[in-house]
Amino acid sequence: MCASVSGIEPHFGSGSERAGSFAGAGLFTSRGCYIRTVGTLRVVRDSRMRLWGVILTISLLAVACTTGGATPDSGDPTPTTGSTGTAGDPSTDPGDCPTTGDSEPWSADVQVEAKVVQEPSGDAPGVALMMYPRPDYEGKPWSQWGQGIVSSDGKFYSAIGDHHGADGNSFIYEYDPETMKLTQIVDVLATVGHEPGAWGFGKIHAQMVEGPCGEIYASTYWGNRRGLTFTNGYEGDVLLRLNPYERTTENVGVILPEHGVASLAATPDGSLLYAEAADPEGQKVGAFVVIDAETGETVFSDDDGAHSGYRNIAVAADGSALVSWNETGLARYDPEENTLTLLDSVLPGSILRASTLPDAEGTIYAVTRDPAVFFALEADGSVSELGPALGYTASMALSPDGDRFYYIPGAHGSAWESGTPLIAVDTETGESEVVVELNPFVEAEYGLVAGGTYNVAVSDDGKTIYVGLNAGDPATRDAFGEVVLAVVTLP
């Protein structure tokens, strides 16, 4: 039987990234349960908008069928495609993809196969697990901090890093759902031409995004900024372009000299990349940068000190970007006007911590950091509070139909205390349901606790949810040190 956990009171800490841990432990007790109510968020939405959204979607589909699948007008809201979007066209000629002409081939030497630990049955989803293969040296610790992407080719790309400062390194992986194999494809230091002893790239902290022809962009980040020096060839964090057709990676170059990129996003068509470039001296100060994906050139940069957060950039259906401003406000970048403007919107907590793609109506679902509160950001810029998350939340993914979003509370190491529940929230009613508890599977398979995630993504058909889990030794109560990929298949 599935135990009800309605009415859980989340515990909110100070402003640190450990804020939002659960007040109690072991509240989710049923290991393989799928639809299990855990509470209801207060949703301030007009159901008539849903109806018009359905009518609009049907109309667009009818037009597409009668016009041979013509691309909708750029003014139409972009249909959601899970957590990452599919800007690129997998049928595009690789010769049309942007390139610098200098690239490194992907490797296929390091590979592991997923193990199915639960078959889908009835209401219970399928679960497959695999440990990210990594070099055999000590990390500080080995961990995953960035959002992966389900790309146009149907594969899932993500990264882990060693968290080192000098000589820090990260690795990028490809998971193929057809073969159920996870392959290490990119060694960042080998790609960027690193000089031994120089500061390295111990994390990929920002979200991976897709460009206009299916290329994937990732940005590096320092693993540790204490003692950081811009010497021996290290000039700041770099933008990497991965080409799934050629299976190569290019170093596009430093995004903003003497800055690290903690957050990355892209317009729906992938033509512009948005970055929050943090200053290592202040970390939560820096600049908002806009990059032309084809040329790699910066087309806009703003270093106003009111810009805050540096953890998430929400992108609207019209391609405009939204960033935290003065902790509880938002500023909008208009790509047509090339301007950044403060909005009247007020967030229900401090900084924009995670967000989804817009749904068919243009609504973005997001969460603040402190306290951890979900809200809906409508196309007109208005904010509707949905209710508290059940803990610090660093990643959200919207289903393709926009009916629900997924998250795991307790991102910074505390999720295992309550079973590491993958939770679905109904965007219409606010009802929350536990899809599956992942910690019991990770403990049984690896003897580790699944501490939390910064990486939840949904496949384009909505049937598969990818979750990257930081995991550690339960004896030390440190939920970092290894990274596990969980692939959840909905029944």
Residue 185, Cβ density class (10 Å: 0-12 exposed, 13-18 middle, ≥19 buried) = buried
Average pLDDT over residues 215-226: 95
Return the minimum-mean-pLDDT range out of 28-32, 228-232, 272-276, 450-454: 28-32
pTM for the predicted model, two decimal places: 0.84
pLDDT band at 477 (very low <50, low <70, confident <90, very high): confident
> Looking at the predicted structure, is the pLDDT value of residue 288 above 90?
yes
Confidence tier at 381 by pLDDT (50, 70, 90): confident
| Confidence (pLDDT) at 87 | 58
- Calpha distance 228→56 (Å, rounded): 52
The contacts found for 321-330 with CB under 8 angstroms, 24 or more apart, are 321/265, 321/274, 321/288, 321/290, 322/352, 322/364, 322/377, 323/276, 323/288, 323/352, 324/351, 324/352, 327/351, 330/377, 330/381
pLDDT higher for 85 or 314?
A: 314
Per-residue pLDDT at 238 exceeds 80: yes
**Average pLDDT of the chain?**
84
Share of the chain above pLDDT 90, in %: 75
At 283 the pLDDT is 62
pLDDT at 102: 83
Residue 4 has pLDDT above 50, yes or no: no
Of 376 and 65, the structure prediction assigns the larger pLDDT to: 376
User: Which tens digit of pLDDT belongs to each residue from 318-370?
Assistant: 999 999 999 999 999 999 999 999 999 999 999 999 999 999 999 999 999 99
Higher pLDDT, 48 or 152: 152
- Alpha carbon distance, N-terminus to C-terminus of the chain: 18
Instruction: Give the least confident one: 127-131, 205-209, 249-253, 284-288.
Output: 284-288
What is the three-class DSSP state of 27?
coil
Predicted local confidence at residue 183, as pLDDT: 98
Q: Is residue 177 pLDDT above 70, yes or no?
A: yes
The percent of residues in the chain predicted with pLDDT above 70, rounded, is: 80
Mean pLDDT of 128-141: 97
Statement: residue 465 has pLDDT above 90: yes
The residue among 16 and 143 whose pLDDT is bigger is 143
Question: Domains in the chain and their CATH numbers?
Answer: 71-119+130-398+470-480 (2.130.10.10)
Task: For residue 93, give every residue at least 6 positions away whose Cβ sits within 8 Å of its Cβ, in sequence order, or none.
Answer: none
Using pLDDT thresholds of 50, 70 and 90, give the confidence band for residue 475.
confident
Lowest-pLDDT choice from 78-87, 184-193, 346-355, 410-419:
78-87
- Using 50, 70 and 90 to split pLDDT, how confident is the model at 10? very low
Pair 438, 468: CB distance under 8 Å: no
Q: So what's the pLDDT on residue 356?
A: 98
Please report, as a single letter, which amino acid is at residue 387.
Answer: G
pLDDT tens figures, 242-259: 999 999 999 999 999 999
pLDDT band at 100 (very low <50, low <70, confident <90, very high): low
Q: What is the pLDDT of residue 41?
A: 52
**pLDDT (0 to 100) of residue 316:** 97
- Residue bearing the bigger pLDDT, 123 or 98: 123
- Asked if pLDDT for residue 5 goes beyond 70, the answer is no
Of 50-54, 90-94, 295-299, highest mean pLDDT: 295-299
> What residues contact 191, with CB distance under 8 A and at least 6 apart?
104, 240, 249, 251
Query: Can you give the pLDDT at residue 1?
Result: 30
Residue 61: what pLDDT? 38
Strand partners, 73: none
Whether 126 contacts 183, CB under 8 Å: no
Does the pLDDT of residue 88 top 60, yes or no?
no
